[in-house]
Amino acid sequence: MYLSIILIPLITSIISEIFGRKLGAQGSQFITTFGLIVTASLSFTAFYEVGLNQSSVSVDLFSWIGSEYFLVS
């Protein structure tokens, strides 16, 4: 969920940029607005989970250095 908060606006803007002529102005506006509404609802959910319920969250995107006993994320 936390990664999709970042990726949804990026993906919708790329879709609007690539297919903007085929979708038209209203289609591009609908896609980007829908993406922002979904992102806002996920952000409110994340705020409730982390801010109000005080649960800690750690998002590991990738491992940078991996050795037998040494791991850097």
Would residue 65 be called left, alpha or beta, if left means φ above 0 and alpha means ψ between -120 and 50 degrees?
Answer: beta
- pLDDT average, residue stretch 2-22: 92
Answer for the pair 49, 34: CB distance below 8 angstroms, yes or no: no
Cα 64 to chain centroid, rounded: 21
Q: pLDDT digits over 34-46, tens only?
A: 999 999 999 999 9
CA dihedral sign, ordered 34, 38, 43, 48: positive
Share of residues in the chain with pLDDT > 90 (%) = 55
Q: Tell me what pLDDT residue 32 has.
A: 93
Report the C-alpha gap between 32 and 38 in whole angstroms.
10
- pLDDT average, residue stretch 45-59: 87
Q: Tell me what pLDDT residue 1 has.
A: 85
Q: Nearest Cα to 35, choosing from 56, 13, 52?
A: 13
User: How is the chain split into domains, by residue range?
Assistant: 2-72
Average pLDDT for the chain: 88
